[in-house]
Structure 1
Amino acid sequence: MQQVLAETDVLVITQGLDDHCHIPTLSAVSNKAVPVVTNPDAAARMRPLGFSNITVLTPGQETIITGQAGGRLKIHATAGALVGPPWTPRQLGLLMREVSSDGERPASLYFESHCDFDSGSLQKGQKSCLAGGPVDVVVSPVVSTMLGVGPASYELVQGASNLVKLLRLLRPKVLLPLLNHDMDASGPLTSILWQKGDEHGVAELLRREGLTDTRVEYPAPPGEALALAL
């Protein structure tokens, strides 16, 4: 992990909850000066760990990060997952685009970890960050994680329900499934956690929905880089 972080230009964290802002993992990061872009809750948890270069965003705000080699990345925060009561602030989704000065077409990416989003916020971000155009890559869950039994179940992660709507909005070239359902879990709630949807049936789903301009690529193993042809 340390080798990967040594080459990292920016660390983005979209939620302040333990499974996103994971204190044991963050405590093990040796370079606490790595640029971080996150929300207020996560920033409050990271500062006591020694992270010193944190940019805090709320939906509608944006920043530009300069990388180690001089490249620049524009990051626009959108309204992401609602993980509490309806009156609580939403977590973050992030639209990211290279800031290019050499005439090359900049690459762009959208990341949100629950496939839960506010369409209006996302469209405003698309206009600000991408001039209203499509995004190159979407990183999103494609499977739903449910909590509960039967009709009373609550959809914690909404990949199976919202994926098609998200892809119609952003029109990406590449969908990179976020496999956050594929994990080892323990505790009293695990007996009523279950998944809805099929990560291996996504390409067929896109074909049925007429989203044939989007291709599905799967993540590389942990610690390995993934190169995407755009």
Structure 2
Amino acid sequence: MYLTWFDSNSWLLEIGNKRILIDPWLVGPLVFGNQGWLFKGEKRTPRPVPHDIDLIVLSQGLEDHAHPPTLKILDKMIPVVGSANAAKVAEELGFTQVRTLEQGYTYSLDNQIEIKAVPGSPIGPTTVENGYIFRELETNFKVYYEPHGYHDQSLQQETPIDVVITPIIDLALPLVGPIIKGTKSALQIAEWVKPQVMLPTAAGGDVTYEGVLASLLKAVGSLEDFRSLLARHNLSTRVLNPTPGERFEVPLEKQPAGVA
């Protein structure tokens, strides 16, 4: 299994001989509703757009997950799996094979990867977006991705999950508190599913941010703090710190026979 992190929430997952692009932000700035004065992210280092993509997976319909400038340049024949909001964005941009994956349901990629949608981040009072579990059928390795730190209790039934990609530090606003849930939420999912490896998402990377909202956001915690927290709770999970744009192999040990 290989991963490449492209800053923010953008990942390339290589598993089961498939290349899956998750929440891609690869070109152009990141803004919400064309309101650059409020929030704008820009990559310091342009990187090549990944090739030979077998599937695009979108967790949310917001611009930092379904990034319109990036989706516009990708091949519209690539299949897309997403939440209802994300699928709508992909369809409007011309993708021809779009599957809305409701929570609790699965999607099979060429009988090699099973992708299960699980409850993720609440967006507004009535909408809950998707997290995902990717399972390689040959090895039974599982990868769980949720980019805002909202983990549903049903995940305890999925134990063990080998790799967890989720925020590990909090991103907070004054008087509001965390809008990205890191430390406590990450510890909870580590205790629930006992991952071999955890990887941070949402914060950091080779990106500059500006705007009113960006100036108010405060990062709380660090990877070293979280490693110490895991140790205090007798969890052997390894926390990796990926370098943006660099492909790396995820060090995993096969589970004993009979472990689901």
- 1:99-110 to structure 2, matched below 5 A, reads 99-100=137-138, 105-110=139-144
TM-score normalised according to structure 2 size: 0.73
User: Which residue of 112, 126, 130 corresponds with 1:72?
Assistant: 112
User: Which residue of 239, 242, 245 corresponds with 1:216?
Assistant: 239
Partner SS state of residue 81, structure 1: strand
- 1:78-97 to structure 2, matched below 5 A, reads 78-85=118-125, 88-97=126-135
Query: Runs of 5+ in structure 1 lacking a partner?
Result: 127-132
Superposed displacement of residue 228, structure 1: 1.1
2:73 and 2:152 mapped to 1: Cα distance? Answer: 34
Identity, in percent, stands at 32
2:214 and 2:51 mapped to 1: Cα distance? Answer: 35
Q: Which residue of 1 aligns with 2:84?
A: 40
Partner SS state of residue 135, structure 1: coil
Whether 1:59 aligns to 2:96 is no
User: Which residue of 229, 234, 250 corresponds with 1:228?
Assistant: 250
User: Which residue of 162, 165, 182 corresponds with 2:185?
Assistant: 162
Is the 2:136–2:142 Cα contact (8 Å) retained in structure 1? yes
TM-score normalised according to structure 1 size: 0.82
RMSD after superposition: 1.9
Partner SS state of residue 64, structure 1: strand
Query: Which residue type is aligned with residue 228 of structure 2?
Result: E
- 1:103-142 to structure 2, matched below 5 A, reads 105-120=139-154, 122-123=155-156, 126=158, 133-142=159-168
2:197 and 2:130 mapped to 1: Cα distance? Answer: 21
Superposed displacement of residue 179, structure 1: 4.6
Is the 2:147–2:202 Cα contact (8 Å) retained in structure 1? no
Is the 2:183–2:226 Cα contact (8 Å) retained in structure 1? no
More helix per residue: 1
Superposed displacement of residue 116, structure 1: 0.8
Q: Deviations over 1:124-152 (max 9, x none)?
A: 5x2xxxxxx301111111011112x2xx2
Q: How many residues align?
A: 206
More strand per residue: 2
Superposed displacement of residue 168, structure 1: 0.9
